[in-house]
Amino acid sequence: MSQYQDLHGKVAVITGAGRKDGLGEAMAKRLASEGCKVIITDIGHGEGEYMPESAVGTRSQMQQIVDEIIAAGGDAKAFNCNVLNPEEVQAAVRFAVSEYGRLDIWVNNAGIGYLMKPILEMSVDEWDMVLNVNLRGVFLGIKYASEQMVKQGHGGKIINIGSQASKSAFAHASAYTTSKHGMNGLTRVAAQELGVENINVNQICPNHVTTGLGAWQNSHFSEVTGKGYDKYMQDMRDRIPLGRPGLQEDIAKACAFLCSEQASYITGECMNVSGGEEYH
């Protein structure tokens, strides 16, 4: 049963939503369960050194998520979109309008969280790739989604997916932390500029969630900290007041709320969903 009746019939695009067990999949399925018509976007195939096949949503994964949404009674379609490319982001907006006649919700979820190195070891190309995907990609999503929403004249919701790294610094994650901190400012400026158009712009800041990417991060940081996997995970649980890392569903619930009219007077917020770990 839908919790937010006002979401029924709304059209939502979620970027970076093509990886199984990812945040994008969870948000897409939750919005579809609320009656949204959902467009799953991702690159669709690996591209070069910094976007290997294992780090992107492939076309087959995207279609699998779409099929699962449809099997559950929802409405969804897949569309290839590299958020680094302005033309592809614009094309995703046009696809939503051509398929469903409108665009109501845009979720900037695409990001790179696997280029984690100390500053002294990180190349300029790696730095640029993380900043471009995690920040330029969000800018392009805000820009072209809001253009369509303004044209339609009935407002809209834009949700940016940040991180605990939007609020706190983490060693070995300089580019990632910088990009997520930058997203805070972009979210707040967009909220100020677009409020007059009745467009709400908010950000969700999860702590660690063990997605496919999250599992890699667990292994990576347990190694670089020298703690070992079990100690690293126990330390994580110990510092979270609610005693566990986040789940995909925790972020999906927050996304559905912010997309609903229950959050109509909330904009410019960078909302922690962290079990009490992050309070800034």
The closest alpha carbon to 208, from 196, 218, 200, belongs to: 218
Crossing angle between the packed helical segments 248-259 and 23-33, to the nearest 10 degrees: 50
Distances (CA, A) of 77 to 32, 37, 39, 63, 168: 11, 8, 5, 8, 36
Q: Which of 10, 176, 229, 265 is catalytic?
A: 176
The closest alpha carbon to 268, from 206, 216, 210, 203, belongs to: 203
CA dihedral (205, 83, 47, 54) positive or negative: positive
Q: Is 279 a catalytic residue?
A: no
The closest alpha carbon to 245, from 280, 203, 217, belongs to: 217
The owner of tokens 């019939």 is 9
Distances (CA, A) of 148 to 16, 103, 238, 261: 20, 7, 45, 20
Q: Is 180 a catalytic residue?
A: yes
Q: Which of 100, 144, 180, 232 is catalytic?
A: 180
By annotation, the residues acting in catalysis are 176, 180
